[in-house]
Amino acid sequence: MSKATDRFMEAARAFGVRVHARRFPEGTKTAEDAARAIGCHVGQIVKSLVFVADGRPVVALTSGANRVDLERLAELLGAAEIRRATPEEARTATSFAVGGTPPFGYPERIRTLIDEDLLAYDEVWAAAGTPDSVFPLAPAELRRASGATAADLKES
């Protein structure tokens, strides 16, 4: 496992989650790549997307089947301004690179929302710190560990 995955697994332990990361040399950079490698439904892949809302980082744990509706996200957060984080901003906030961003385990707490569609699955898969590693967990555990608020944040 890479240093970033080791770092995430260590951080996850502090959140009470035992991460069993799996590495796929063919890559799990996008939700589609990850679903293909794992052999699961793309909706079961957790995209850990970083936004900047009124100057503060926010994470939206989004089903791989959905796209975030920015207006809905702003409304849910009560934010006047919202945009995607740049890769540099995302790395600064989470300490992980885009494409491998895990759903929790950041140096400081980041306000987090979870796409309610993820909660319908028995098991979901999220990035474990690198663009070629993922780990499975129950959505309820994901919600608890990330401290996320469940919401309907998808584009219709």
**How near is the Cβ of 13 to ligand 5CA at its closest, in Å?**
20
Size of the site for ligand 5CA (CB under 6 A): 21
Candidate list 12, 17, 45, 145; residue touching ligand 5CA; CB under 6 A:
45
Name the 3-class secondary structure at 42: helix
Candidate list 22, 84, 91, 111; residue touching ligand 5CA; CB under 6 A:
84
∠ Cα 122 5 106 (to 5°): 80
Q: Which two tokens stand for residue 33?
A: 């790549």
Name the 3-class secondary structure at 15: coil
Count CB atoms within 10 A of the CB of residue 16: 9
Candidate list 12, 60, 127, 142; residue touching ligand 5CA; CB under 6 A:
127
Name the 3-class secondary structure at 59: strand
**Interaction of residue 126 with ligand 5CA, rule CB under 6 A:** yes
**How near is the Cβ of 32 to ligand 5CA at its closest, in Å?**
9
CA 24 from centre of chain = 18
Which positions touch ligand 5CA (CB under 6 A)?
28-31, 34, 45-49, 84, 86-87, 98-101, 126-127, 131, 134
